[in-house]
Amino acid sequence: MATTRIMPLHAGKGRTVGRAISDIIDYVKNPEKTDHGRLITNYQCDSRVADAQFLLDKQTYAARTGRVRGADDVIAYHLRQSFVPGEITPEEANRLGVELARRFTKGRHAFIVCTHIDKAHVHNHIIWNSTALECDRKFRNFWGSTRAVHRLSDTICVENSYSIVEAPKRCGQSYNKWLGDAAKPSHKEQLRQAIDRALEQKPASLEELLCLLEQDGFTVHQRGKTISIGVEGWGNNVRFERLGDGYTLDDLLAVLSGQKEHTPRKHPAPQAVPPKVNLLVDIQAKLQAGKGAGYARWAKVFNLNQIEQSLIYLSDN
């Protein structure tokens, strides 16, 4: 599943066109975010000198057409495409980003696709030159472009067996807020991370370790030799034995006594459960849930429109 957003780029106050292009390209190419540049793909340009190429194309366009725009001119477009954590690899996300950029611009504009992996969710930054490759026209943002690119992104996701947002809201939450609790680590994972933090402080005994966990906001429950940890709102407490290798009570006692070293577990990216891939309304299910005949008629029209729009996008792109 992917969410998308288009942002026109202007020179802005105090910046030349060349500086503005250079700034955004330098940001999306950041080697720390793109696995040292491995997750960068170019089309009809070289990412190392793309700012100079984009600027030259604009100068050529002005010379050929005689059209010169002011400070409000769009110098490039920035498209962001974000995926649910754990659903797609960075390499596959980059491939889908290239496909989205190529089909949306119809291959008429140079572009760069940079896949960032510095967040919990893999996301693409796509920069395409507003000036066409032939330097005879420019890409003009059109009414409904946001919806068009979102539908195209959905189509590409469906074609590649990835999920989509079934009912996106026009004005909703940010991507991270939209993920909600699905983006948060499990209770066990939160407790493992808290234990890792506590052991970094070199406690000398189990009592000191438990004290550090309490200072971190956890509640310790002891019944005989059984120790469980909880937090208000969790419902059930978690026993050390249920945390896996390296975090059982025996493992922790061995670490505290100096018999073994603790190796923190590599914490995985949060796994959100992807929504079901479904572009149509399940009319029978809705009727069984209590919807009336009027809703069924509307749903039939909605489904026909969805099928028609999907066919149009598939044929055009």
Enter the tokens of residue 239: 């026993």
Match 């990835």 to its residue by tokens. 162
**Cα–Cα distance between 167 and 150 in angstroms, integer?**
12
**Cα–Cα distance between 282 and 199 in angstroms, integer?**
52
**Cα–Cα distance between 2 and 12 in angstroms, integer?**
29
Q: Which helix (H) or strand (E) holds 153?
A: helix 145-159
What number is the average pLDDT over the span 103-129?
93
* Cross-strand bridge partners of residue 68: none
Collapsing DSSP states into helix, strand and coil, what is residue 42?
strand
pLDDT at 44: 94
Angle 279-5-124 from CA coordinates, rounded to 5°:
95
Residues 86, 105, 4, 165, CA torsion sign: negative
Radius of gyration of the chain (CA): 26
pLDDT at 119: 82
pLDDT at 126: 95
**Cα–Cα distance between 214 and 32 in angstroms, integer?**
36
Angle 122-247-216 from CA coordinates, rounded to 5°:
75
Collapsing DSSP states into helix, strand and coil, what is residue 100?
helix
pLDDT at 275: 47
User: What global pTM score does this model have?
Assistant: 0.55
pLDDT at position 317 over 60: no
pLDDT at 239: 85
Q: For residue 110, name the pLDDT band (cuts at 50, 70, 90).
A: very high
